[in-house]
Structure 1
Amino acid sequence: MSRFRMYPTPAQQSALLQQCGHARYVWNLALEQWSMWTRDKRPTPRYVEQARQLTEARAAFDWLRAGSQTVQQQALRDFDEAVRYFLAGSHRRPTWRKAGLHEGFRIVGAQASRIVKLSRKWAAVNVSKVGWVRFRLSRAVPEAKSYRITRDGVGRWHLAFAVIPPPIPAPGTGEVVGVDRGVTVSAALSTGELLSCPGLSVTEQVRLKHLQRRLSRCRRGSSRRRRVKAAIAKLYARAGDRRKDWVEKTSTDLARRFDVIRVEDLRIAQMTKRPRPKPDPERPGRHLPNRRRAKAGLNRGILANGWGDLVTRLEHKAAGRVEKVNPAYTSQTCNVCGHCTPDNRKSQAVFRCAACGHQANADVNAAVNIAAGRAVSARRETPVQVSLKREPQLTTST
Structure 2
Amino acid sequence: MSRFRLYPDAAEEEALLVHCGHARYVWNLACEQGSWWNPRRGPAPGYVEQNRQLTDARGDNPWLAAGSVIVQQQALRDYTTAMAHFFRGSRRRPSFRRRGRAEGFRIVAVKPADVRRVNGRWSQVRVPKVGWVRFRRSRPVPAARSYRVTQDRVGRWHVAFAAVPDPIPVPDTGGVVGVDRGVAVSAALSTGELLSCPGLRPKETERLRRLQRRFARSRRGSNRRARLRARIARVRTREADRRKDWVEKTSTDLARRFVLIRVEDLRIGAMTRSARGTPAAPGRNVAQKAGLNRGILAQGWGLLVRRVEQKAPGRVERVPAAFTSQRCFACGYVVAGSRESQARFCCVACGYQSNADVNAACNIAEGRR
Asked if the contact 1:121/1:138 (under 8 Å) is kept, the reply is yes
Task: Tell me by how many angstroms 1:341 deviates.
Answer: 2.4
The 5-angstrom pairing of residues 1-398 of structure 1 reads 1-41=1-41, 44-110=44-110, 113-173=113-173, 175-275=175-275, 277=277, 290-375=284-369
Give the residue type in structure 2 aligned to 1:208. Answer: L
Asked if the contact 1:71/1:106 (under 8 Å) is kept, the reply is yes
SS of residue matched to 2:19: helix
Mapped to 1, the partners of 2:255 and 2:291 lie a distance apart of 31
- In structure 2, relative to structure 1, the CA distance for the partners of 1:286 and 1:196 (3 Å cut) is closer
Asked if the contact 1:19/1:105 (under 8 Å) is kept, the reply is yes
Task: Tell me by how many angstroms 1:93 deviates.
Answer: 2.5
TM-score for both structures, normalised by structure 2: 0.93
1:80-106: CA deviations, max 9, x gaps?
323333344433323222221231111
Asked if the contact 1:188/1:364 (under 8 Å) is kept, the reply is yes
Task: Tell me by how many angstroms 1:49 deviates.
Answer: 3.5
Mapped to 1, the partners of 2:360 and 2:79 lie a distance apart of 44
Structure showing greater Rg: 1
Mapped to 2, the partners of 1:174 and 1:286 lie a distance apart of 52
Give the residue type in structure 2 aligned to 1:167. Answer: P
Task: Tell me by how many angstroms 1:26 deviates.
Answer: 2.0
Give the residue type in structure 2 aligned to 1:352. Answer: C
Asked if the contact 2:346/2:354 (under 8 Å) is kept, the reply is yes
Give the residue type in structure 2 aligned to 1:150. Answer: T
Asked if the contact 1:331/1:345 (under 8 Å) is kept, the reply is yes
Give the residue type in structure 1 aligned to 2:24. Answer: R
1:192-224: CA deviations, max 9, x gaps?
111000000111111101101111221111000
Task: Tell me by how many angstroms 1:113 deviates.
Answer: 4.2
| Unpaired stretches in structure 1, ≥5 consecutive residues | 280-284, 376-398
SS of residue matched to 1:135: strand
| Unpaired stretches in structure 2, ≥5 consecutive residues | none
Mapped to 2, the partners of 1:367 and 1:91 lie a distance apart of 28
Report percent identity of matched pairs: 62
Give the residue type in structure 1 aligned to 2:104. Answer: G
Give the residue type in structure 1 aligned to 2:68. Answer: S
- In structure 2, relative to structure 1, the CA distance for the partners of 1:154 and 1:112 (3 Å cut) is farther
- In structure 2, relative to structure 1, the CA distance for the partners of 1:51 and 1:258 (3 Å cut) is same
Task: Tell me by how many angstroms 1:135 deviates.
Answer: 0.8
Asked if the contact 1:113/1:144 (under 8 Å) is kept, the reply is no
- In structure 2, relative to structure 1, the CA distance for the partners of 1:37 and 1:260 (3 Å cut) is closer
TM-score for both structures, normalised by structure 1: 0.86
Task: Tell me by how many angstroms 1:250 deviates.
Answer: 0.5
Task: Tell me by how many angstroms 1:334 deviates.
Answer: 2.1
Give the residue type in structure 2 aligned to 1:162. Answer: A
SS of residue matched to 2:227: helix
- In structure 2, relative to structure 1, the CA distance for the partners of 1:364 and 1:34 (3 Å cut) is closer
**Aligned length in residues:** 369
Asked if the contact 2:110/2:147 (under 8 Å) is kept, the reply is no
Task: Tell me by how many angstroms 1:112 deviates.
Answer: 7.0
Mapped to 2, the partners of 1:95 and 1:183 lie a distance apart of 29
Task: Tell me by how many angstroms 1:342 deviates.
Answer: 2.5
Task: Tell me by how many angstroms 1:59 deviates.
Answer: 3.4
Task: Tell me by how many angstroms 1:328 deviates.
Answer: 2.2
1:16-42: CA deviations, max 9, x gaps?
001111112222233334444554557
Asked if the contact 1:111/1:126 (under 8 Å) is kept, the reply is no
Mapped to 2, the partners of 1:138 and 1:200 lie a distance apart of 26
Task: Tell me by how many angstroms 1:149 deviates.
Answer: 0.6
- In structure 2, relative to structure 1, the CA distance for the partners of 1:89 and 1:300 (3 Å cut) is closer
Asked if the contact 1:278/1:290 (under 8 Å) is kept, the reply is no
SS of residue matched to 2:216: helix
Give the residue type in structure 2 aligned to 1:138. Answer: S
More moved, 202-211 vs 67-76: 67-76
Task: Tell me by how many angstroms 1:286 deviates.
Answer: 8.3
Asked if the contact 1:343/1:354 (under 8 Å) is kept, the reply is yes
Give the residue type in structure 1 aligned to 2:288. Answer: A
- In structure 2, relative to structure 1, the CA distance for the partners of 1:175 and 1:52 (3 Å cut) is same
Mapped to 2, the partners of 1:54 and 1:228 lie a distance apart of 38
- In structure 2, relative to structure 1, the CA distance for the partners of 1:85 and 1:112 (3 Å cut) is farther
Mapped to 1, the partners of 2:278 and 2:78 lie a distance apart of 42
Asked if the contact 1:180/1:264 (under 8 Å) is kept, the reply is yes
- In structure 2, relative to structure 1, the CA distance for the partners of 1:216 and 1:87 (3 Å cut) is closer
Mapped to 2, the partners of 1:346 and 1:84 lie a distance apart of 46
Asked if the contact 2:112/2:143 (under 8 Å) is kept, the reply is no
Give the residue type in structure 1 aligned to 2:22. Answer: H
Give the residue type in structure 2 aligned to 1:217. Answer: R
